[in-house]
Structure 1
Amino acid sequence: MRALPLAALGTAGAAAATVAAAHVWARHVEIHRYTVREQELRILPPGARTIRVLHISDIHLVPDQSRKLDFLRHLATYRPHLVIDTGDNIASAAAVPVLAEAIEPLLRRPGAFVMGSNDMFAPVRKNPLRYFLPDARPAGLTERTDGDLPTQELARRLGEFGWKDLTNTRATIELGGLEVRLAGVDDPHLERDRFPDPAPVEPSAPEHGNVLRLGVAHAPYRRVLDAFVADGAELVLAGHTHGGQLRLPGYGALVTNCDIPREQARGLSIWKGVPLTVSAGMGASPYSNYRLFTPPEATLLTLRARRPD
């Protein structure tokens, strides 16, 4: 067998060292680099006061994640006027009371939530190459109804101070003269989304001037985004993608785990004329607890009044 040239050996060794360094960084450093992504939108009615919306998602909490819990507690210092939680909060049944304690200051503020698949089904070990398939979901997942996590207990904890459960329904929250009308769906990744019926219209009541319409889902599938746009949403919030979880400079997200374009897997973009914010989330499955070029995050949206024409 002919030996490889020294130059080839050197190149292969450098490549192996780069991969090893990336693994160490993703698994032991970046996964703990919690950050707050701050963005601003002018979508409120003219004259409305500025509001801060905290968007949290994909926490995937297990009870011993002390740095993640510290970050969750820290988020209350931003004093948001509204909190939106787009699901995948837990990775074990034992995490429910721990999560509720950590975010109690946020739960006492106006808020709303939807659930993700990992609020229903405990994580399992998967081949990461599965996410490069056209449909990464395990066979039969969308037909299952027997979730093995305490989803109802989680919903009770999230709602005990007044957060609205937006599972295939609508809700309204009053924020100091601004009426926030929310529409939400159950997890599209499990095909449980059933778009809520239109809100009833009272012919005798004039249209409220200070209104903000939000669409909320866990997974940003195109069919759901289109439904929110058709429903008149002025901002859509989602999670699920982890920002790709692994990103490459100059390329972006490798996968999205849904049918949204890769370039819209994280941050603020526009979907058919409507602002869309997709949170990269705060965590990952315990069996794939790493991130590369997409650190764990929460999003603080500052919403201001539109400028007069």
Structure 2
Amino acid sequence: MTGYLLRRAGQAIIVVLIVSAIVFVLLRLLPGGPARAILGPSATAEQVLEFNREQGFDQPIVIHYLSWAGGLLRGDFGYSYRLNQDVLALIGERLPKTLSLTVLSTLVGLLITVPLGTLQAVRRNKPVDYLLTGVVFVVYAMPVFLLGMLLIIVFSQTLDLVPPQAPQGSTLGEIFAQSDGLILPVATLALLTVAAFSRYARSATLDNLGEDYVRTARAKGALSRRVIGRHVLPNALRPVVTLLGLYVPFLFGGSLITEATFNYPGMGLLFWEAAQNRDYPILLGIVLVIAAATAIGSLLADLAYALLDPRVRYAGA
């Protein structure tokens, strides 16, 4: 297992470096560049040249990237053009809020997904299966911002049950102190998780319901509820767990739009504002964090799959 972990860690580092290089190049190639975005259209050519010199944009792109990557190794993610703050400090302040929102909504989504997929499989081709499948596909096809706005219209403006804006605060304590404001953002991301995974939970449950061990257990007189709970569900969870690790970038993507919709002060809102202002250091820093989270999520999914299925063995373990 140690050898496998080392290999996967090496692969993860390579992936993160490749992603950072691609994003760095693409941001450098955007028309206008950061100088005009920061200094404004009235800036003189001399001011633009001075800005590019100070920020390293006058260097060849390879040299500039290597200089930036070298700063990363020293913990230097650069400074925000607009906020004039250290990027690492900004991410460190916002990341716990985004992680809290993402983890909470994912747990809520999975708690709904597993029994929902099981119910659909047990009631296959029945009215409840068709109804739930239709609802899931509608949510899956719906843009995140539209889903969030619909929840605001129904539960905030029409029913007046919860506030339309997410809680505001600089610490997690202040965020959770206004827990009613978390309901709609968490619900939005949880519904996305349900829409993404319920189909796989249904399919995996159906596959396991047709296995010989299920028929044998039922032939011995085991209750259907016991067979599903003790035998079918653990096996049906494996593809869901595997996909969960690969779903990390989509979770962050949904979080970005959700935070902007509900004005949640997390990393997604920071990315949104940086994109509008062409604040390249923040964009690069957040993309790097997402790439690292994706690589780590994939590794954790593989390990969880091995724990759920003892038959799985990795070469060199």
Name the TM-score, length of structure 2 as normaliser: 0.24
Name the TM-score, length of structure 1 as normaliser: 0.24
Higher CA-based Rg? 2
Of Structure 1 and Structure 2, the greater strand share is in 1
